[in-house]
Amino acid sequence: MRLLKIVPDDIAIPFMRFRKLFMMISTAAVVLSLAMVFVKGMNFGIDFQGGILVEVRMPQAANLGQMRGQLGSLGLGEVSLQEFGHPSDVLIRIAAQEGDASAQQAAVTAVKDALGTGVDYRRVEFVGPKVSSELLLDGVLAVGMAIMAMLIYIWLRFEWQFGLGAVAALTHDVFLTLGIFSLLGLEFNLSTVAAVLTIAGYSINDTVVVFDRIREDLRKFKTKPIPELLNGSINATLSRTLMTSITTLVALLALFFLGGEVIRDFSFAMIFGVLVGTYSSICVASPLLLYTNVAARARSGGDASEEAAETP
Amino acid sequence: MVYFAKWKIVLVLVVCLLGVAYSAPNFLPKSITEGLPGWLPSQQVNLGLDLQGGSHLLLEVEVDEVVNQYLEGIAESARATLRTARIRPRALGVADQSVVVTIAKADEVEKARGLLAPIEPGAEVSVDGERITIEPREQMLLERRQSALQQSVEILRRRIDETGTREPTIQRQGDNRILVQVPGLKDPERLKAIIGKTAKLTFQLVDMENSVNEARERGRVPPGSVLLEATEEDRAVGRQDAYLVKRRVLVSGEDLVDAHQSFEQRTNQPVVSFRLNARGAKKFGDVTTKNVGRPFAIILDKKVISAPVIREPIITGSGQISGSFTVQSAQDLALLLRAGALPAPISILEERTVGASLGADSIAAGEIACIVGLIAVIVFMGIAYGKFGVMADVALIFNLLIILAVLSVIQATLTLPGIAGIVLTVGMAVDANVLIFERVREEVRAGRTPISAIDAGYSRALTTIIDANVTTLIAAILLYAFGSGPVRGFAVTLAIGIATSMFTAIMVTRLMVVAWLRRTRPQELPV
């Protein structure tokens, strides 16, 4: 049986020749993403801004217009309705009510009374302002600390230039994910933070594989010009990079289409992250090494290990 | 590398076998696993509330209220002490964790200080001009806060246990919070109603000398009395909506020894019957003897349930609370009275309730996604790497079984994001094998013999695999540290998945590859 090879054995794409283009694209994408986040803002779920969320299953296909009328007249402030994966499933979001916990309960009760009987309440969530600000802080802290911890790990295992390149790629991925969430108005909640952190992990994972090869090649080919060497390393690991991205994407696509409505945004974030992460480890992390003069130190000092001795 | 120590072979086989054994109960219906002999593994994965349905409530106990009550108590004794000694305070009140007394006459300050010093042992009494400050030590306030939280946990446990729900989790969190998790709940609203009530019951005489309207409209509440609202149920049907009640508490819920729902004999209305302890019975007997013909108010959490007229002295210590009750609400009140009052009010900070139908849908969707993802990856690996791909697939299946086994054994909670973590692991677990196989391909191209290519492939890929996985592990650990609820479930499965996939991808596939190499001694590698 002929085996599938997603890239030919003798592939030699001159990635380094396009490095300026990649840099321009990535810089533009990051700037646009940040602009989206700051201008349009994030569509925070109740986890981060507080409020009430009720998922109901109506006895028959829901009439959103009619429901909007029923719920809008309750005086609960902003009420938003959204069909949720099924014509009879509706997601109701209500802004946090003035007053204490009993005011929130009263709002939920009012909704239940307005919708009448025969309705299945699949999910009721309420997050108070105190908790939502804590959750937001925890989320930001988690992402920030994860990036720091990875930076330190890469720095310990490689030279600092690699750490910088890896974290630049990872930050790039995180910003782009935030940007796409803002652009598409997808709900940003606790599980999105989980997705962002996983994307960070995946992105670093991908980058480390390429870096590992670069480090090995730096020791092996002491006289090769750096751009050429980087190209060689990227091409050598290209097949693996793509294979792993594909298997991960395949699993994530199954999750996106079949995993249910509740985790669809989560799956989307991961799919997007895997795509961007694959791009960034090839086109952002490695070209950055060129600018940080990685070769000088790695070649002169280079910690001698068994691979270093194994020059062909 | 091609050599495989005997003990390593045994280790790999044992781990795989244990994985199969301990994951097996999850594929059997509960009726079978419960009937298994004790030595067989029978634990199934613990499903999170988002999968089995249930309520997650984060509560805040207003512990400062307890400190306040404590300080008010000190202020009250100070007032009484000074009154007995005929010293007039110009002002006396609670201010910022202390009680401040301002004495009217300067020459009485020393005397007052002497009298006030012993009223609260351990409190610091200081004088500044005419002001005497009684400040309890920080430690005493802290102890009161902590014991209030502890007591609240116990009372909530009693209340929730009485509703007959199975396996509730009630935990302290931090200085003033309680996390309540109740799986498989039919009526979350009732749970909240039961949790949220302080359930402080008092009997107080109704102030008949002054008018309610006068007090309400002109704000003229006579000293020694207090204006209280009626219950919402009463107000809704247009009964008397406020009462003027004497401040003095005749009998309180602390003296209650039993309460249960019953029916009033004449009207057949649901009521709550109660019994008082000896002390309460005596007090109640005295008061009712003296006040025949006058109404007394039954007050729960500062709302008047009802104000029946005392027809005859009640000396047995037993009585009935009537009011606008349904059978359910009378049962709930009886439950609350039996379990006791919370030391401080409680508010709900966060609620997440998932119905059983959504949970079941999520499990079904998660299972399908997992199976489809698995099959797709298996097929893809087979196409890409042939024989080696199949070996990686076998390792992948063992990986999933071992994840399930670990989750079952440590009784970690599997949540919906946790299922997503498993599906993601399916995609990422083959990464280690991809790395190895790609490396082997390269080594073959570089002209190595099959055995030497595989040897080099495994040893060179190993450092990369470890570096790559450690970084993902860092993300998982931080997710666990900062995440809450379902997100933690994701971190747990992700972390377990990383560990097990390294084991299966490196050890299990290598065992298979080595066995295959030995048997066939190939001249060429099918990669």
For A132-148, the pLDDT digits (tens) are 888 888 888 888 888 88
Which residue of B lies nearest to A109 if distances are taken between CA atoms? B189
The Cα-based distances of B275 to B257, B278, B284, B317, B337 in angstroms read 6, 10, 11, 6, 11
Q: Hey, CA dihedral for B6, B12, B15, B19, is it positive or negative?
A: negative
Cα gap B496→B17, rounded to integer Å: 18
| Lowest mean pLDDT segment, chosen from A101-115, A255-269, A278-292, B448-462 | A101-115
Q: How far is A289 from chain B (nearest CA, A)?
A: 19
Residue A11 dihedral angles phi and psi, to the nearest 5°? -65, 145
Q: How far is B379 from chain A (nearest CA, A)?
A: 10
Q: Which residue has the tokens 């990535």?
A: A26
The β-bridge relationship of strands B413-414 and B46-47 is: parallel
The reply to whether residue B478 touches residue A145, judged by beta carbons under 8 angstroms, is: yes
Q: How far is A71 from chain B (nearest CA, A)?
A: 20
- Statement: residue A306 has pLDDT above 70: no
For B366-411, the pLDDT digits (tens) are 999 999 999 999 999 999 998 899 999 999 999 999 999 999 999 9
The reply to whether residue B484 touches residue A200, judged by beta carbons under 8 angstroms, is: no
Q: How many CB atoms lie within 10 A of CB B476?
A: 26
Rounded to an integer, the average pLDDT of B428-438 is 88
Cα gap A238→B434, rounded to integer Å: 11
When pLDDT is cut at 50, 70 and 90, the band that residue B505 belongs to is confident
- Residues 6 or more apart whose CB falls under 8 angstroms from that of A71 comprise A79, A81, A92, A111, A114, A115
Which residue of A lies nearest to B427 if distances are taken between CA atoms? A248
The reply to whether residue B384 touches residue A154, judged by beta carbons under 8 angstroms, is: no
Q: How far is B373 from chain A (nearest CA, A)?
A: 4
Cα gap B143→B148, rounded to integer Å: 8
Mutant choice from B430, B482, B524 vs A, greatest count of A C-beta within 10 A? B482
The beta-carbon neighbor of A142 closest among B430, B468, B482 is B482
For A147-196, the pLDDT digits (tens) are 888 888 888 888 888 888 888 999 999 999 999 999 999 989 888 888 88
When pLDDT is cut at 50, 70 and 90, the band that residue B41 belongs to is confident
Q: Strand order in B251-252's β-sheet?
A: B242-246, B225-230, B303-306, B296-300, B201-205, B251-252
Which residue of B lies nearest to A258 if distances are taken between CA atoms? B369
The beta-carbon neighbor of B416 closest among A139, A240, A262 is A262
Q: How many CB atoms lie within 10 A of CB B50?
A: 26
Mutant choice from A112, A174, A248 vs B, greatest count of B C-beta within 10 A? A248
Q: How far is B37 from chain A (nearest CA, A)?
A: 36
The reply to whether residue A251 touches residue B427, judged by beta carbons under 8 angstroms, is: yes
Q: Which residues of A are less than 8 Å from B50 in CB distance?
A: 262
- CB contacts under 8 A, A 104-163 vs B, are 104-105, 109, 120-128, 130-131, 135, 138-139, 141-142, 145-146, 149-150, 153-154, 157
For B266-306, the pLDDT digits (tens) are 888 999 999 999 999 999 999 999 999 999 999 998 899 99
